[in-house]
Structure 1
Amino acid sequence: MERRNFALIFSLLAVALAITLASRAGATDAGPIAGNPLIEIPAGAFVFGRDDGPENERPRRVLEGQAFAINRTEITNQQYRSFVSATGHRPAFYADHAILGLDDHPAVGVSWSDADAFCRYYGLALPSERQYERAARGTKGGRYPWGDAPPDYTRALSGSDTCCSADPGDGYPLTAPADSFANGASVEGVLNLVGNVWEWTADLYAPYEGGPPIGSAGSYRVLRGGSWNSDPKHLTTTYRLAYDPDFRFSANGGFRCVRSAP
């Protein structure tokens, strides 16, 4: 009898956990990229920018966002190789690296145009800064995808407290598999929007509407999310990194794609 009661209790707990996880996740669509479903992000108001960080993140505003869908994980080496095989596009720079080139790790060593070409091939696009930030912050403007608690080894792959070197305590010398760190998922269930690799966005680097002027505006594209060697100040949902769009030798830069609502 005790065994049966224990089994019943365990079963009920498992069901409750499944319901809780399902309630956190957004609706999914298999999408055009094998093994990387699109997570639906609903339309509605969300917080964009912040007033207590770097000047290029100001001002904090509440915007009205349109619905879109975003890849659950960064694009992996295996997914990028499939694209290269189908199109003859140049491979990722680190495709043959012993760690960075592993099939289930994010594809790194891609320029902005490489990432853009990949997304376009599948009828998708690179996310705008607004889309990336909405997916990462939810509607309430969290500092991290999971809320405001500081990152730890279960939530994000990041670097040491001093830029820019890996933190060996997380168990990964460089990148981690793209589906790692489930505890760091966003409200809708998107993974690694902070940490693992920086991610290209569609946008040129420019000041926000109503914000202070910034240097190098219009010359660079914006990367978001921080990476495996980012210190804490770079590892937030709002940090903006201006980067040369033609540079393809970065071992900590990747991407994912979005599908905007018609």
Structure 2
Amino acid sequence: MVITLAFGATAADGGLIAANPLIEIPAGTFIFGRDDGPENERPRREVEGQAFAINRTEITNRQYGLFVKETGHRAAFYANHPILGLDDRPVVGVSWEDADAFCRHYGLVLPSEQQYERAARGPKGSAFPWGEVPPGNARANSGADACCSGDARDGYPMTAPAASFPDGASKEGVLNLVGNVWEWTRDVYAPYEGGTAARSAGLYRVLRGGSWNSDPNHLTTTYRLAYDPEFRFSANGGFRCVRSTL
């Protein structure tokens, strides 16, 4: 699911993050989880959500680079890669702590799983941000039909620009909540209430959304990937931030 590459060194926002506005998500009930997918996505239930705002796109290399310049924080692992390191592509090669530090620098936080899923599914629990129709090649940057390798059928063999695939936007206008790169959430991985306990519970953080090398089984608004928060070498893992409106 998450892919690692090894390359050498060549290899409504108030303007918080340049060119990446925060999109308001209103309070209200929404559908969270599903009963017809993997065990760790169950149960499906109705949740009362508070209002929040989420970045329109994944954080880009340009935006992360500015953060590095301002703070002296370490650069993303793939900052110099000829494709993954392009300014307009989502930053990849960052640990959970790197992502958390970026968001907090701007007075924001990583999204919770519920916030991410509400932004991606809408209040009615859609399978995809745009509705129920599978993405095809026009709505998301995804991989081959069999896990887990990229292809260029959608125009991009690896990451796509963070502002691409407008046809795949959510109802509120948030882009690439499915596909392009997996995205860190702030939650520690654990089964949902009533779910079966897993050995990995409490050890990992949760990635959401699938990526440029994801097959259809991983490219949904509900798929949960438990991942080592210290690992910073994933070529398909990035993030975006949220702000509570309370």
Deviations 1:117-162 (A, max 9, x none): 0000000000000000000000000011011101111100000011
CA distance in 1, matches of 2:113, 2:181: 16
Q: Which of 189, 195, 205 matches 2:173?
A: 189
Q: Which residue of 2 aligns with 1:6?
A: none
Q: Which residue of 2 aligns with 1:69?
A: 53
Q: What is the deviation of 1:212?
A: 2.5
Q: Which of 189, 212, 227 matches 2:211?
A: 227
Matches within 5 A, 1:130-209: 130-209=114-193
Partner SS state of residue 153, structure 2: helix
* 1:107 maps onto 2:91 in alignment: yes
CA distance in 1, matches of 2:29, 2:114: 12
Q: Which residue of 2 aligns with 1:246?
A: 230
Q: What is the deviation of 1:211?
A: 2.2
CA distance in 2, matches of 1:113, 1:251: 17
Q: For the aligned residues, what is the CA RMSD?
A: 0.8
**Greater Cα shift, 212-221 or 184-193:** 212-221
The answer to whether the 8 A contact 2:76-2:91 is kept is yes
Q: What is the deviation of 1:167?
A: 1.9
CA distance in 1, matches of 2:239, 2:15: 16
Partner SS state of residue 222, structure 1: strand
The answer to whether the 8 A contact 1:109-1:248 is kept is yes
Q: Which of 53, 73, 78 matches 2:37?
A: 53
Partner SS state of residue 170, structure 1: coil
CA distance in 2, matches of 1:154, 1:133: 21
CA distance in 2, matches of 1:61, 1:214: 21
Q: What is the deviation of 1:62?
A: 0.2
The answer to whether the 8 A contact 2:183-2:209 is kept is yes
TM-score of the two chains, using structure 1 as the length reference: 0.88
Which consecutive unaligned segments of at least 5 residues does structure 1 have?
A: 1-27
Q: What is the deviation of 1:173?
A: 1.4
The residue type paired with residue 71 of structure 1 is N
Residues 131/206 of structure 1: CA separation in 2 closer, same or farther (3 Å cut): same
CA distance in 1, matches of 2:27, 2:152: 39
Which consecutive unaligned segments of at least 5 residues does structure 2 have?
A: 1-11
Deviations 1:96-131 (A, max 9, x none): 000000000000000000000000000000000000
Q: Which residue of 1 aligns with 2:4?
A: none
CA distance in 2, matches of 1:124, 1:31: 12
Q: Percent identical across equivalent pairs?
A: 77
The residue type paired with residue 224 of structure 1 is R
Q: Which residue of 1 aligns with 2:27?
A: 43
**Greater Cα shift, 203-212 or 78-87:** 203-212
TM-score of the two chains, using structure 2 as the length reference: 0.94
Q: What is the deviation of 1:30?
A: 4.3
